[in-house]
Structure 1
Amino acid sequence: MTDSDDVLAPLADDLLAKLDLPAKIRLISGANFFRFAGEPGIGLAEMPVSDGPSGVRGENWDERDPSVSLPSGTALAATWDRDLLTEIGALIAAEARRKDVYAVLGPTINVHRSPLGGRHFECFSEDPLLTAEIAEAYVRSVQAHGVSACPKHYVANDSETERFTADVIADERTLRELYLYPFERSVEAGAWMIMAAYNSVNGVTMTENDLLDEPLKGEWGFDGVVVSDWTAVRSTAGAAKGNDLAMPGPWEAWGAPLEAAVRKGEVPEAAIDEKVRRILRFAERVGALNGTPQPVPTFSDEAAARVVRAAAAKAMVLASNDGTLPLRAPGRVALLGSAAAEPRFMGGGSATVIPAHTTSPLQGLSEVLPVVYTPGVHLSENMIPVPLDLVTDPETGTPGLSLRYLDGDTVLDTEHRSAGTLMLFGNPNAMQATAIELRGRLRADMAGEWRIGCAGVGTLSVALDGEQVLEETVLPAGADPVEMLLNPPQRFVTRTLAEGQEIDVLVRLVPGGGFPAMGITYAVGRPRRADDEEFAAAVELARTSDVAIVVVGTTEQIESEGFDRRDLALPGRQDELVAAVAAVNPRTIVVVNSGSPVEMPWRDDVAAVLLTWFPGQEFGTALADVLTGAAEPGGRLPTTWPKTMADVPVLDTKPGPDNALPYSEGIHIGYRAWLKSGVAPAYPFGHGLGYTSWELSGLEVSGRTATLTVTNTGDRPGRQVVQAYLSRERSAVDRPVRWLSGFAVVEAGAGESVTATIELPKRSFQHWTEKGWTIEPGSFTLHVGTSVLALPLSAEIG
């Protein structure tokens, strides 16, 4: 892309001439953790950036400046809806501008190679074309408003185990056809920034890998900024390579050592100049170079909630249904499952944001159905951050907590906070403090044995009514900073409290183990029934209710950045609960709140299965819309769901000797590998039901455009995703049995027929060879239907 080269090139040369070498080197490292450096002398502002896969957090994790929590990557891809991404992109841009952010670090467009991948939920799909289509729509829609997107992580960062050192071994065809393709399409969409990954590919760390030059900057013509993943720049000499900006900053390897290397001739200054040119071009695009950022649409809280609610409903996949859904004026509804009251709205890691509000399934369903609730199982033994409605700031007498930063006996600052978990990394007071105190008066809302405690890294102590009852130095078992930040160890004491009783709680953290104060949590665990008693109560509630809805799901300890999953099983006794409930109530509906596939041994024994992913802040209201039929469950699977983990054809995420992780399956991942293996999954790629019925007919092909008639044969309006796959019998090339070539989303009223038009990109007919892209002579077969296994129409094309 060279849209701005003619205008900017002379200006960039002029600005470069005004910068000495130290100034140029400052510009190719961050100013701090989430801010690109500026240079007032040339009119270049500092540029804050933010994590952005599922919402725009801003530079700081602070509940006083909340963010809209969007559906996860898998959820957005499950909509198969490019137009929806236009709305989502506008909302992301509006959030970025509200938080003074110039770039959002997303979307995450790595591929679902294995369902064990820890960030599977954050990525779009197992299919490169679907990933590319959603990525392109995301990039175009965000950048249309003058905010940069940043597709990541280039390339093959498809799992988390040993993510800093893993070396992916993949042949060029595999890289080109699967893992590079979404990035290629993002560049075609005009991406202004791309993030280089931690891992190596074929023996070379990605921030120094030749893949940054070819195909990214050469063949594809990417003229934006390659930014490193945080701390991924490995060496001073790497500054001569394709990575342009080292984050966070100032980056030690690119400070004085780089200046010395340039002066010695070990790194050419021309390489530094090229990086600065790219940064200046980026700054001009986002309005940080002698300009002001482009105005963006604004969203009220209500408008943002409507967008998220609609997106969450469009993402929900109705995997099975015996006609129980949608619910029509049911009698008593038993709502069960720990996740019904404490669901997962988002995945863990850099996709985390702090929303101003959330709606749980319990809250959302209670507004529209006669719900009675009990959890049935305790999903986690972990405590939760103290709820705001149970704690009072002793300094202000208002709901919340008092936070103090101490340097010895000196109080550096005091803040009123409204969350039990505080993320403090990068906070200047926290960086200076030798101790941090979080205090609040707890009011018990039920009688029984309470757990009262804390979480953090360092020396933790708890005092109750002025008496110290706990002190322990806690250091993490692993070395990944994300896990230390988002899943720190917990410690607690127990106290029996009467309902309404109050107790003063002081949590104190002294940073230690070489780690700064990354965060502090004041945590509690409410009294609860014994496990067997609670389980029996849930089964009895289901037995005596008209309908049973069981919400099952994963936890922060299972799906998150920083580690891969060990298995695909639901944690705890959730499978046992579903089986017991289904045995006493034939109208059992299971809602699965996970970001990626889980095993469901009970799936054929329940009335309906609804997959909701991590749906964002409006989970409860969107779920109520779908279960009652106010909205269509619009999702179709962007990834295959297995019956058992043992069936999964590509599973490994753990590097072997020399940190090598061979992609020995080549181009056969996801549904391609399932088709090759001949094993039937629980639910195939592209699958999803609605509340009406459909008939496809009249397939015609002209060039690379397919058209067909789609008829809604049911009695209510509906939404369908029509999918087109290619195959090639007796090919001289190793190919998948079938592969996705295009798709179209259609809507039709009851009895209505509409025309679906599917554009089939040239690339879907091509394969990579040593000589480049080529199309094998002869014809292909086009298959059209509603999943990779439901393809009633076909035609020859070529």
Structure 2
Amino acid sequence: MPPSDFSKVDISAIVPQLTTDEAISLIAGVGFWHTHAVPRLSIPAIKVSDGPNGIRGNHFFMGTPAKCLPCATALGATWDTELIHEVGAKLLAPEAKLRQASVILAPTCNIQRSPLGGRSFESFSEDPFLSGMLAAAYVNGVQSGGIGTTIKHFVANDKEQDRMGYDSIVSPRALREIYLMPFMLAQKLAQPWAYMTAYNRVNGTHASENPTVLKNLLRNEWKFNGMVMSDWFGVYSVSESINAGLDLEMPGVRKWRTIEKVGHSIVSRKVTVRTIKERATKVLELVQRCAKECPEILDGDGEERTHESEEDTALMRRVAASSLVLLKNTNNVLPLDATKLKKVAVIGGNAKATVLSGGGSAALKASYFVSPYDGIIKALGKDVDVTYSEGARAFMTMPSLDYEMLTESGVRGWIGKWYCNGGDGFTAVGEPVKTHKIDETQLFISTSQPPGLTRKWTLMLEGRLKPRPVNTKFEFGLTVAGRAKLFVDGNLVIDNWTKQRPGEAFFGQGTVEEHGVYELSANTSHHIVVHFVNVRGPSDGEPDDASGSAVMESSAAVRLGGAPVQDPQQSLEDAVSLAQAADVAIVVVGLNSDWETEGYDRTTLALPGKTDELVKRVGEVNKNTVVVTQSGSSITMPWVDSVAGLVHAWYLGNATGDAIADVLFGKVNPAGKLSLTFPKRLEDVSSFGHFHSENGKIRYAEDLFVGYKHFQHSKVEPLFPFGYGLSYTTFAYENLKVSKPAITTKDGHADIQVTVSLTVKNTGHAAGSEVAQVYISHPKTSDLTHPPLLLKAFGKAHDIAPGASKDITLSLDKYAVSHWDESIGSWVVESGEYGVHVGPSSESLPLKGSIVIEKGRAFEWNGL
């Protein structure tokens, strides 16, 4: 029968038929991306795929070209649940079907305790309410398309360094009101099909084996009935994780849940067959749901595909433009009028760079990409003189040579030849097992090597570097998880083989990037060879012994990058000269996937190298300097007073350049609002001083005062506040009305209903959209400490014409006026007067009202 017929089976009848070995097999994955099939009982496997900002598919190496969406902080900056639902339904779900994936590993809705967090770009916001509402919209959108979501990383997973070992020590109240809240809202409003546990400990116990979190809270209190899976390699036990309620261990590589290990736990009475079958039941229920909701995937051919359409491209561009935040617009320097410009200088390390997203699980091969420079050029037209200078380099590792390598026939790419290794473990023997063209120079091979290789194997990469018009000193960079040497024209330029320095690349398995310089001759296509072996090389003091060296069986990788040698000061001076001679200087600067990535955290909020100096100098010589910043979380801007215009552009995916140009030249009136606070300095961040793991412990000492709550509580002035964003028009807030609270009961659960209505009027000269934000303050009579303001509702009024008004009506429920009472372990609503504050940002709230909860109407509850 076709695999999708599993949708019709009675799982309660199937489970008793499982042998113990079959049940054990079902509770761990197969390979990197699949669940286990049981052909004897016609149980199919399902495939999952990474999906924070796009659906990559099976392979990091030579992956299927895919749509890369704006990162989560960018989606958060839209403050638009309807748009996020549309993204899920019209972009993510169809992309998953093209990759033959039934479940995506997204959304991420952890809280941004600090912008230093390596994966901050993957989460929506520093605020739990905004995060939860957007996560619910994302989940509902994707699942409306028949594709499952996996909300992650459950819970208190807010930094990368030491992520598999650290213990997040969080007070019960902060855990509930801040870190669990986004998950709770998504569960209440959207019901994700699956949860993914975090790597870290939560108050002493790893999340993947934490019964308090998985059983007591998620299953019993929130009534979650779906499947719980681990993060990849995020299981640290056999019986503990099974008994705690972790249904599926992922991946199936280097797994704990082998038949032998689980069998040993059964005979030692550490786990029962009954419990194993309970876990297997949840896996089967997910498989059945996938078979019901999207049978064509299970019945398909398994081939991954790419499809682009004009409608998809337009939506990608609209979403990206909707996330841009206008932070400064002195003398209305923006929008730019292309018809009045004669000379424009485009400057900055990100202007021509391929900056799609942050790094790690979010990485994918984009089906297309428009750079900021290309987007600006298209918007300006042919009659404008455009000059360009990098000015200051932004990269941490040398830029990829994806578009610089050519085969002998002149086609983009280089040739890879895979060989089995001989008895010494290092030497290739015989004819190549496979020969093919490779169109990328960052090769995270992982487990995507061709079949038929020995455990230790060789990859020879050979091509020619695209000719340069003049003699050029060129600096190469070589990073490996394994070992490699780079030869140019037969000359050894980099040896990352004989001795190695451990680094953080490739999820912590790679080396530090090693560099070498070679003189390129003008108009010459130089011969490039990289000799790679998937056996780690020795560090200082270690012997080079193939039998004792680690074999990269699931993490083999090699990366070749390069760029012309540059005099940093001369490059900066050149950029300043170009800016001085231009009508407008557009400076595009920021971070990239080297700086913000899974695996490690940032160490500073400053922009790389001489970038800050570059922006300041350009702003000083050109009064019409417009800066576009790219990062997934906040950065410091010591030059902010030197520039006229400032737009924060996050990581925007495929449509980056077009979306930036749409805003700069007024095709789109910006309506984004910051999804996190931008501080003036790192020391102003609430987690400063206790963000890092110390002896395996991270103390969430800021407690409730995360993000804007800290800035307001401590009266610290931010650079730009949470919820802030300008427009090319202006708005007035009027007519606030707050209804009296109505106590309702449904299914035995009491709730509070309050309606907040207001009018937003466009008082400017351009049509625009505006986000109204509702913040609540707790009664001054409360005996407990509360943050000064808490976001509890928001609504976006679209396309308000000049002089026109739009009414916004928003609802508040019991969670808007409640807190977690640690003494009784319940949510509690106190009696008293709650302030209602409404406006365009957390620091600008012109409308004020109140909600009065009368004595005797306060109540407490557990669950949703």
Normalised to the residue count of structure 2, the TM-score between the two structures is 0.88
In structure 1, distance between residues paired with 2:398 and 2:581: 31
Cα contact 1:457–1:515 (8 A) shared by 2: no
Asked whether 1:776 is paired with 2:819, we answer no
Asked whether 1:688 is paired with 2:742, we answer no
Q: 1:85 is matched by which residue type in structure 2?
A: I
Please report how far the alpha carbon of residue 211 of structure 1 lies from its aligned counterpart in structure 2 after TM superposition.
0.7
Structure-to-structure mapping, 1:518-533, within 5 angstroms: 518-521=555-558, 523-533=560-570
Residues 360 and 50 from structure 1, CA distance in 2 versus in 1: closer, same or farther, beyond 3 angstroms?
same
Structure 1 residue corresponding to 2:665, chosen from 608, 628, 632: 628
Secondary structure of the structure 2 residue equivalent to 1:385: coil
In structure 1, distance between residues paired with 2:760 and 2:417: 63
Please report how far the alpha carbon of residue 530 of structure 1 lies from its aligned counterpart in structure 2 after TM superposition.
1.8
Asked whether 1:419 is paired with 2:444, we answer no
Residues 222 and 668 from structure 1, CA distance in 2 versus in 1: closer, same or farther, beyond 3 angstroms?
same
Cα contact 1:113–1:650 (8 A) shared by 2: yes
1:745 maps to: 796
In structure 2, distance between residues paired with 1:78 and 1:387: 31
Secondary structure of the structure 2 residue equivalent to 1:630: coil
In structure 2, distance between residues paired with 1:400 and 1:763: 55
Cα contact 1:29–1:250 (8 A) shared by 2: no
Structure 2 residue corresponding to 1:317, chosen from 319, 325, 344: 325
Asked whether 1:516 is paired with 2:556, we answer no
Provide, for residues 102-130 of structure 1, a one-character-per-residue CA deviation record: whole Å limited to 9, x for no partner. Answer: 11111111001112111111111111000
Cα contact 2:126–2:706 (8 A) shared by 1: yes
Asked whether 1:764 is paired with 2:763, we answer no
Structure-to-structure mapping, 1:226-625, within 5 angstroms: 226-238=228-240, 239-249=242-252, 252-255=255-258, 256-287=260-291, 291-293=295-297, 300-322=308-330, 323-329=332-338, 330-369=341-380, 370=384, 371-380=386-395, 382-388=397-403, 390-394=404-408, 397-407=410-420, 408-410=428-430, 411-429=432-450, 432=455, 434-447=457-470, 448-452=472-476, 454-473=478-497, 475=500, 477-478=502-503, 482-484=507-509, 488-513=511-536, 514-516=550-552, 518-521=555-558, 523-625=560-662
Residues 381 and 294 from structure 1, CA distance in 2 versus in 1: closer, same or farther, beyond 3 angstroms?
closer
Residues 381 and 213 from structure 1, CA distance in 2 versus in 1: closer, same or farther, beyond 3 angstroms?
closer
Residues 471 and 662 from structure 1, CA distance in 2 versus in 1: closer, same or farther, beyond 3 angstroms?
closer
1:151 maps to: 151
2:425 maps to: none
Residues 680 and 381 from structure 1, CA distance in 2 versus in 1: closer, same or farther, beyond 3 angstroms?
closer
In structure 1, distance between residues paired with 2:137 and 2:55: 18
1:74 maps to: 73
Q: 1:249 is matched by which residue type in structure 2?
A: G
Residues 528 and 104 from structure 1, CA distance in 2 versus in 1: closer, same or farther, beyond 3 angstroms?
same
In structure 2, distance between residues paired with 1:677 and 1:492: 46
Please report how far the alpha carbon of residue 668 of structure 1 lies from its aligned counterpart in structure 2 after TM superposition.
1.2
1:735 maps to: 786
Residues 126 and 387 from structure 1, CA distance in 2 versus in 1: closer, same or farther, beyond 3 angstroms?
same
Please report how far the alpha carbon of residue 45 of structure 1 lies from its aligned counterpart in structure 2 after TM superposition.
1.5
Q: 2:335 is matched by which residue type in structure 1?
A: P
In structure 2, distance between residues paired with 1:199 and 1:248: 17
How large is the RMSD of aligned CA atoms in angstroms? 2.3
Q: 2:437 is matched by which residue type in structure 1?
A: H
Secondary structure of the structure 2 residue equivalent to 1:153: strand
Secondary structure of the structure 2 residue equivalent to 1:575: helix
In structure 1, distance between residues paired with 2:567 and 2:610: 13
Please report how far the alpha carbon of residue 86 of structure 1 lies from its aligned counterpart in structure 2 after TM superposition.
1.7
Could you tell which deviates more after superposition, 538-547 or 753-762?
753-762
Number of equivalences: 788
Please report how far the alpha carbon of residue 265 of structure 1 lies from its aligned counterpart in structure 2 after TM superposition.
2.4
1:3 maps to: none
Provide, for residues 114-162 of structure 1, a one-character-per-residue CA deviation record: whole Å limited to 9, x for no partner. Answer: 1211111111111100000000001111111111111111000011121
Provide, for residues 365-407 of structure 1, a one-character-per-residue CA deviation record: whole Å limited to 9, x for no partner. Answer: 011223311111122363222233x33223x652221111111
Asked whether 1:673 is paired with 2:723, we answer no
User: Identity of aligned pairs, percent?
Assistant: 34
Please report how far the alpha carbon of residue 182 of structure 1 lies from its aligned counterpart in structure 2 after TM superposition.
1.0
Q: 2:96 is matched by which residue type in structure 1?
A: A
In structure 2, distance between residues paired with 1:200 and 1:645: 26
Cα contact 2:148–2:290 (8 A) shared by 1: yes
Provide, for residues 592-628 of structure 1, a one-character-per-residue CA deviation record: whole Å limited to 9, x for no partner. Answer: 1111111101112210111111111111110000000
Please report how far the alpha carbon of residue 476 of structure 1 lies from its aligned counterpart in structure 2 after TM superposition.
5.0
Please report how far the alpha carbon of residue 312 of structure 1 lies from its aligned counterpart in structure 2 after TM superposition.
1.1
Residues 683 and 659 from structure 1, CA distance in 2 versus in 1: closer, same or farther, beyond 3 angstroms?
same
Residues 359 and 667 from structure 1, CA distance in 2 versus in 1: closer, same or farther, beyond 3 angstroms?
same
Structure 2 residue corresponding to 1:788, chosen from 835, 839, 842: 842
Residues 611 and 280 from structure 1, CA distance in 2 versus in 1: closer, same or farther, beyond 3 angstroms?
same
Residues 595 and 83 from structure 1, CA distance in 2 versus in 1: closer, same or farther, beyond 3 angstroms?
same
Please report how far the alpha carbon of residue 469 of structure 1 lies from its aligned counterpart in structure 2 after TM superposition.
4.7
Could you tell which deviates more after superposition, 283-292 or 674-683?
283-292
Residues 397 and 361 from structure 1, CA distance in 2 versus in 1: closer, same or farther, beyond 3 angstroms?
closer
Cα contact 1:592–1:610 (8 A) shared by 2: yes
Secondary structure of the structure 2 residue equivalent to 1:93: helix
Secondary structure of the structure 1 residue equivalent to 2:764: coil
Cα contact 1:446–1:527 (8 A) shared by 2: no
Provide, for residues 291-349 of structure 1, a one-character-per-residue CA deviation record: whole Å limited to 9, x for no partner. Answer: 54499999634333222211111111111111100001323111111111115220011
2:208 maps to: 207
Cα contact 2:238–2:256 (8 A) shared by 1: yes
In structure 2, distance between residues paired with 1:228 and 1:132: 21
Please report how far the alpha carbon of residue 25 of structure 1 lies from its aligned counterpart in structure 2 after TM superposition.
0.4
Secondary structure of the structure 2 residue equivalent to 1:462: strand
Normalised to the residue count of structure 1, the TM-score between the two structures is 0.95
Residues 289 and 181 from structure 1, CA distance in 2 versus in 1: closer, same or farther, beyond 3 angstroms?
closer
2:744 maps to: none
Could you tell which deviates more after superposition, 452-461 or 765-774?
452-461
Q: 2:184 is matched by which residue type in structure 1?
A: E
In structure 2, distance between residues paired with 1:250 and 1:556: 26
Asked whether 1:106 is paired with 2:117, we answer no
Cα contact 2:686–2:702 (8 A) shared by 1: no
In structure 1, distance between residues paired with 2:299 and 2:25: 29
Please report how far the alpha carbon of residue 439 of structure 1 lies from its aligned counterpart in structure 2 after TM superposition.
0.9
1:718 maps to: 768
2:861 maps to: none
Please report how far the alpha carbon of residue 526 of structure 1 lies from its aligned counterpart in structure 2 after TM superposition.
3.5
In structure 2, distance between residues paired with 1:531 and 1:655: 33
Secondary structure of the structure 1 residue equivalent to 2:43: coil
Provide, for residues 442-492 of structure 1, a one-character-per-residue CA deviation record: whole Å limited to 9, x for no partner. Answer: 22233211234533133312233345554332645247851436xx53334
Please report how far the alpha carbon of residue 654 of structure 1 lies from its aligned counterpart in structure 2 after TM superposition.
4.5
In structure 1, distance between residues paired with 2:48 and 2:693: 35
